[in-house]
Amino acid sequence: MQRTLLLAKIHNCTLTGANINYVGSISIDEMLLEKAGILPYEQVQVVNNANGQRFITYAIPAPAHSGIIELNGGAARLGIIGDRLIIMTYGQFTPEELKSYSPTVVIVDEKNRLLEVRRYDDLLSKV
């Protein structure tokens, strides 16, 4: 049996753009994708902390170190520039894999610059 758990998240990033005319998806700074372990075109869940919207789309890379986080296509209607987002991806794990598992958390500042990459268990131990 496999179970679905959080694999990685980019925490509290800032929406920098919304392009209704784009084909679809969310553009994310390629460096942030890499640090989180999120692949181009991988399914992601996006939570908009400003308005409570939750939706699923897929990630596409924006230029590395650009700080770009942009909603595209229909998703562009689900946020405005400056909204704070959480971008998450999930994985399927066997019971054996779960023994050494901890999600990756990418923490950024208000301009989507990388502050740190943590393991979720490390963050919880400080609460």
Residues 6+ apart with CB under 8 A from 103: 5, 6, 7, 8, 9, 119, 120
Distance CA 35, CA 46 (A): 17
Report residue 61 as tokens: 């890379």
Q: Which CATH number is 113's domain given?
A: 2.40.40.20
Give the chain's domain count: 1
Mean pLDDT per 10-residue interval, the chain, length 127 residues: 94 97 93 98 98 97 98 96 98 90 96 94 59
Q: Is 64 annotated as a binding residue?
A: no
Q: Is the separation of the CB atoms in 101 and 70 below 8 Å?
A: no
In this prediction the pTM is 0.92
Q: Is 74 annotated as a binding residue?
A: yes
**Phi then psi for 62, rounded to 5 degrees?**
-100, 165
Q: Is the separation of the CB atoms in 66 and 98 below 8 Å?
A: no
The pLDDT of residue 53 is: 96
Domain that holds residue 91: 3-125
- Residues marked as catalytic: 25, 58
Q: Is 75 annotated as a binding residue?
A: yes
